[in-house]
Amino acid sequence: MEQPMTGAIPTPPDFPVSWERPEDAMLFWTHDTMHFPDPLTPMDDGLLKTIFVSGFNGSGEKYDIPIRVRINCINSYYYSSFAPATTAPEELEAMGQRAQEKIGAVLGHIGDYWGSELLPEVKENLAYWRSFDLQGVSMPQLVAHLDDTVARASRMWQIHFAIAFPFLMGMGLFDDFYRDLLGNESAFDAYRLLQGFDNTSLQAGRALWRLSREARQQPEVHRVLEERATDEVVPALEKSVAGRAFLVELQAYLNEYGQHSDLFSYWSSPSWIENPSPVIKNLKDYISQPDRDDEAELAAKAAEREELLVQVRARLQGYPKAVVGQFEFLLKAAQESTVLSEDHNYWIDQRCTYQVRRVLMEFGRRLAAAGAIAQAEDVFYLTPAELSETALSSPVMNRHTVVMQRQQEVARARAIKPPPVLGTMPPGPPPDDPMTRTLGKFFGGPPQEPSTPGTLRGNAGSPGLARGPAKVIRSLAEASKLQQGDILVSETTAPPWTPLFATAAAVVTDTGGILSHCAVVAREYHIPAVVGVGIATAVIQDGQMLEVNGDTGEVRIIPSPN
């Protein structure tokens, strides 16, 4: 869709926009397809407007970051608008300077800041949720617990951004400094010095791999995983002693690494603990793969990193001591930040979201039993205020009609392609400052025009060249299509998708930049990735042969022979 450089942005005929406030039309709104590609339920929308906004803006105030966020649910899709925190240009400049100083101070000890100051509070909140007797309290007590849950979740997301702002800056600043200091032979030179560090996403992948090796050692379990469809595996395993023993191991894995859904913060999405199909699908893939030493692979990447670091430090000999000191400062910050980029997600995005969902599902079960809604999952089609009102009503309120109407609205929304931007184009380009550059590396820039017919261009995410058949996967429910050697093509990936990287030969996504989750994890798995293509899932079809060049950011569709 052609976009004007300034002024009102036209909207497609199938996406009419009615602004809640007339002044919203004057703002620039973007659809964050990396985190929220799917339509939101009313519960998702209501909680995001409280929890996410409080988290972002609360940490923005903490660091004096000169921008604030607003979010809108438009035709069931998530849109955000970032605006200056003040209209005074001189104060914005001063805030930006203070933000760099405050974030810089955190970068000097970011690992300790997370481990000693932030993570203990995160664990305390998670322990509180786990220990609360959801089934044993009265309905008024459960409503009070919901209020407390939203407050605690808002605080958790303040912690999320309190660590996210610095770790993104840590990786972005190191890349900028490296390029300025040593040139830019490759887009990945700086990032090779950040590889080989363990994190929770890699640990989850290795734990699942070890589980697959255990399955291979049990003939009955191996046979079930090899022959049965994904949804038949658990019932089949329950019929044998070996199968039941394996299910105990599987449940232990889910308890540790399954407290999340397929994407980011959709409270309406079932967790892997509730629906382990994605895990079983990966086990089915893994048992057909030959043995490998994943611990040794991680150690080899670390050894390669240290060898490269020796070479870089040799190049820095003769530089002023202050320059070398700045390099070492930013290197340490970036290396610790690389780990935190995955670990914070495990503790907050995944586990916090799961605990909030548990609370909501308890309401759902009670309201379904009372006849207010048809089934527990219908609770996500109420707003938070409606949920409390319904829970405390006597006699119970009937919400069947409003739930059905909203389910139909969300279903209609799924058939619509939401425009990437709405509102009014900003009058000029974004400021060229460290924060803006870092966010550009995370979200990626706009898709580039292809250089040749049959080629798509995006951002170089992970180096290497790979060929294979495409498999377009829009959710992990479709992951069974992916086979060893296939090219994974998706709108976005999140940490729960990490095990697929051991099966895919390469990854192509519509969203993201070199600091996105997909790019970071693909580099650790040493598979090529091209991210931020924009139209990959719309253009590429299952089975088409692709050539993915992660160094140049190009994806070539190889014509089939006639």
**Domain residue limits, the chain:** 7-164+356-425, 444-558
pLDDT above 70 as % of the chain: 97
Asked if the model's pLDDT at residue 3 lies above 60, the reply is no
Q: Over the stretch 221-274, which tens digit does the pLDDT of each residue have?
A: 999 999 999 999 999 999 999 999 999 999 999 999 999 887 766 899 999 999
Give the model's pLDDT for residue 1: 34
Give the model's pLDDT for residue 289: 87
Element (H, E) at 491: none
Give the model's pLDDT for residue 107: 95
Tell which wins on pLDDT, 288 or 251.
251
CA distance 507 to 78: 25
26 CB-near residues (< 8 Å, 6+ apart): 423, 424
Tokens 């649910």 sit at which residue? 73
562 — pLDDT class (breaks 50, 70, 90): low
Q: Over the stretch 483-537, which tens digit does the pLDDT of each residue have?
A: 999 999 999 898 888 889 988 999 999 999 999 989 999 998 999 999 999 889 9
Structure tokens at 275: 């629906």
Asked if the model's pLDDT at residue 161 lies above 80, the reply is yes
Q: Over the stretch 297-352, which tens digit does the pLDDT of each residue have?
A: 999 999 999 999 999 999 999 899 999 999 999 999 999 999 999 999 999 999 99
Record: fold of 444-558: Glucose Oxidase; domain 1 (3.50.30)
Exposure of 366 in the CB half-sphere (CA atoms within 13 A): 23
| SS3 assignment for 317-384 | CCCCHHHHHHHHHHHHHHHHHHHHHHHHHHHHHHHHHHHHHHHHHHHHHHHHHHCCCCCHHHHHHCCH
Nearest to 331 by CA among 310, 303, 300: 310
Structure tokens at 553: 């950011």
Give the model's pLDDT for residue 2: 37
